[in-house]
Amino acid sequence: MTTEERATPIHPSYAALFEKNKNNPRPSGGMISPQEYRENLDKGAKESISLPKVIEKEMVITYNNLDVNIVLYRPPESNEDDILPIVIYYHGGGFVFGSKNSHSIAIRQICIENNIAAMFVDYSLAPEAQFPTAHEECYAAFAWTLENGKDINIDISKIAVCGDSAGGSLAAAVPLMAKERGIQHDAIKAQILVYPWLAPNSYISALQSYREFGNGNYPLSTKDIIYYDKAYFPQKETTKFSHPLLATVDELRDLPPALVLTAEADILRDEGEAYARKLTEAMVPTTAVRLLGAGKEL
């Protein structure tokens, strides 16, 4: 079955987005540099959206001599003394692009609609920074919050991690890193993985979603994934941290409850669902949801 002959049609709102994306130059095509792509993405985000109001504070935190840029958001009606749960958010973008501007609506909606604090982790990007830089910065943001959250009126008994695409990989890796580093198993209350990128490139040929949606007619192509992988993993790392789908069932035991969201028309669909099955096998409370007719950028 070709993508044009799909039994389940693509929702019209996504079809328009797919058509727009087909004509946008991507770094993987060699027609635009990562730096130019980031600038265009930020410019478009700033020009095209009206942002919900929140209380926003940019900070540089330090954990184990590692400085990490973050942005802390609180609901607009909250008081400084309100002690709030927090979602630590790791953005997508193939480890190559993405910023608080590209994810500005999503992070604000998480904050406002759930009446919680949200932390955006502005981790270093590839190819300038390579594995494990982003992983260590994202872990540092969690560990710092666990140790210092009370000082900024965060309920450290209610910390969740969340991320999309490459950020979903980071949100899956941080609980694995915390487990290996001896953090109490319930320090992270939930992991929310939105179309996470979890498998190494060696899995591509075995995954139907790549064969079905990797041809460049959708927001993320096989060519894109290969480019991003080379940019951030130049040594071709294949560990449970770089690609959490490689974690064994035993290594997944006692991880936080998981919500795994996948999109039907996305190359990352099958690896996300495979990870959800593996978490379930490890007795981790897991909910997996596939959005029919949807694609990446849901």
Please spell the DSSP secondary structure of 172-230, one letter per residue: HHHHHHHHHTT--TTSS-EEEEES---S-GGGGGG-HHHHHH-SSSSSS-HHHHHHHHH
pTM of the model: 0.94
Given a cut of 50, is residue 3 above it in pLDDT? no
Q: What is the pLDDT of residues 192-214, one digit of tens each?
A: 999 999 999 999 999 999 999 99
Number of helices and strands in the chain (H, E): 9, 8
Query: Over 233-272, what HEC string results?
Result: CCCCCCCCCCCHHHCCHHHHCCCCCEEEEEEEECCCHHHH
Per the listing, tokens 């920074």 go with: 129
Cis peptide before 132 (omega within 30 of 0): yes
* Two tokens, residue 279: 């978490």
* Two tokens, residue 234: 């130049």
- Residues 132, 61 contacting (CB under 8 angstroms): no
Residue 128's pLDDT band (cuts 50, 70, 90): very high
Residue 47's pLDDT band (cuts 50, 70, 90): low
Rounded mean pLDDT, 97-115 = 94
Residue 24's pLDDT band (cuts 50, 70, 90): confident
Rounded mean pLDDT, 63-68 = 98
Domain 3-295: homologous superfamily in CATH: Alpha/Beta hydrolase fold, catalytic domain (3.40.50.1820)
120 compared with 218, residue with greater pLDDT: 120
Cis peptide before 127 (omega within 30 of 0): yes
Given a cut of 60, is residue 74 above it in pLDDT? yes
Q: What is the pLDDT of residues 131-177, one digit of tens each?
A: 999 999 999 999 999 999 999 999 999 999 999 999 999 999 999 99
pLDDT of residue 85: 99
pLDDT of residue 18: 76
Per the listing, tokens 């969201």 go with: 261
14 compared with 128, residue with greater pLDDT: 128
Where does residue 239 fall: left (phi above 0), alpha (psi -120 to 50 degrees), or beta otherwise?
beta
Given a cut of 70, is residue 5 above it in pLDDT? no
pLDDT of residue 108: 95
Query: In sequence order, which residues have a C-beta less than 8 Å from that of residue 27 and are 6 or more positions away?
Result: 33, 34, 37, 96, 97, 227
